[in-house]
Structure 1
Amino acid sequence: MGVWTACFFFGQFSSPWLVHQAENLVGSMQGAFLAAGLVGIFAGITIIGFLRDGSTQNPSISPAE
């Protein structure tokens, strides 16, 4: 629980600074949140692609003979 709490409060601490930096890059607060959402969607699709890339077979289980 200590690690979870530390990560949670670090996120609470760093979020305003990160959003402000993103706002400076894209020009508006709405654009900053849109950019963060698009990055999250892209990361999720990429991770799903890596997980579905042939790793569904378990080599330790031999086929029934």
Structure 2
Amino acid sequence: MGNLEQRPSKSWLSEAADRRKARTRTADEAGEGQRLSAEKVKRAGIHIFHLRKKVGLTHGT
């Protein structure tokens, strides 16, 4: 019974670590996307980038 209790906790920890890695990867990709969109916004003269930033903060990660 002890082994059964320990196994889920180990898998949960590994899953949490995988999620953390995936989160950092998506954050890097999002950063690149924001840079590209920021350049487009500067050309267009519209502040969509700032609106997106506010929306992202309200939604959370």
TM-score, normalised to structure 1, is: 0.46
Compare the two structures and name the one with the higher helix fraction: 2
TM-score, normalised to structure 2, is: 0.48
